[in-house]
Structure 1
Amino acid sequence: MPLDTGAVTDFATAGGSPGFGSGAHARRSQRVVLEGDTIGQSLRMIREARGLSVDAVAEMTRIRPSYIDAIEQSDMSALPSRPFAIGYVRAYAQALGLDGDAVVARFKSEAPDHDATLRNPIGVRHNKPPRFGPLAGVAGALLLGLIGWNVARHAMAANEAAQPRAVRQVPVSQIKPATGVVSLGAPLPPPPEATTPKPYVPPGMIDNGAASPADAAKAAAERAAADADAPPIGSAFVQNGKIYGDPAPGVGLILQATKGTTLTVHGAAGAIYFTAFLKAGEAWRAPAGLKGLAVDAGNPAAVSAYVAGVSRGPLKDPTTSLAQYGS
């Protein structure tokens, strides 16, 4: 498609400075129709006549130099998708001071779009929407069936309630009392969960044997006396209840409660060797060989200390070191 160049031979002068032209020369350059086999060759002729390099045009239009070379060579395979290529041609023409619409129209005529379908950009894929149509149909059918079944069930229930029921009456004369002997089997054992569990014994609370039944009355009387007053100093130790601690009888230290009180025995590092609530008459025997123990009593006056079976009197402080008793 040869183009009439008119009387303009110096494109740099007709277009003014590189870029968009101005004045009468710019208006004349807009009417210039260039000679050349393709629009790309025409654009290259103007660029060279204006003394512009490919890099200079790329700097003016922000288009890659490789795309400008592809436009001048009419190499459509080296250009991106058609909308981008048209935009690059328009920007290239405007940078040379030409009518962008006219240049784009010729570019479209020389490179018609035979495939209207746009090419996918690199890295993009089409994700088909999930097909929920069949599932939605099945769900709808199940829902309708459930609703229909409920309606039918309620209707049948209402119909049965509305109809009177026939009652068969038996004459009293035909009723006979039950006769015979009813035998009952042996009682069944209680289930496992109904059995009484074993009582829990805290660590250190070792039962050294309870008083015999013959001594029960004597122990009760002695506990009553212990509740009244603490035994005097020098009195002998009398067992009035359980003795915890060291199971081996000896002549060491024994702490006996004359009234109900808490008693905790611990070491210097805080380790607890015994703790319990002692009833009146119950006692704790210190293990042999343990040193550095201390005792905390809720009511010190209710705990009497016995050394070698002889009373040393009640404790005086809430926390008492057993070293003063030789333990």
Structure 2
Amino acid sequence: MSGEDEPAQEELNIHAPGDKLRMAREAMKASIDDIAARTRVPVRLLSALEKGDYKALPGVTYCIGFSRAYARAVGLDEVQISREVRADLEAQDAISGTRYEAFEPADPARVPPRYLAWTAIALALVLAIGYGIWRTQFFTAPTDEEIAETRIAEAQKPAPTGHERPSAPARPAALAGDVMLTATDTVWLRVYEEGGQRLFEKEMKAGEKFTVPPTAKNPLIITGRPQALRVTIGGKEVAPLGTPDKTISDVPISATALNARAAPAAAQP
């Protein structure tokens, strides 16, 4: 009798929102790491969502938000998936506030009023949302519109007049060797060839490095935080690629192009 019930139960489980997300991901031949990179949700939380282990997730709001992001990434109806996740939460009684209780004091008089607990939760959510917005502004990749605005602004810069004759400092001898980009802080960047072929795209952490292939055809870079990159040729540092916290695009980073730039201020007399 139990053997006959097992297939039926297994068939029902396939219709759980976590199973739908997993099957959609597998149909795309994408790993859970790929989804984590697209949604910026940690792998362990996506895995818990697939398994329906909602108690491993930080809270109801996050469960719903993560499920919507996952659904968008794999092409499912995010409204329907989030509705099914909420139904699962209610069915499992996970939507109650008990998950936030860290301890149960022996003396009932020590239990704080309920409104204080909800106030603390609300403040924590506000801080988390504020931090997320701040991080998004500083560390996410610039949009196509921002890149286009940067290019237009650069194109509209007035050309130097013939009356301006700034004295050019003595240029040091050209450096030779591989061009290396080293992150000094969290920074997103894209390196690509003149024809548009991408060579590298990632949000780098402090200390991570990328060596520009010597055979790359006129390699260029886009980044929103040029001050977070240390650029070297053969181990010797060259001038910064742009103004801090201002998006740069189509900036050449071959050894020839970098040698043509002004030397770093520290190296000038």
Q: TM-score, normalised by structure 2?
A: 0.31
* Relative contact order, higher structure (CA 8 A, sep 6+): 2
Greater percentage in helix: 2
Q: TM-score, normalised by structure 1?
A: 0.26
> Highest Rg: 1 or 2?
1
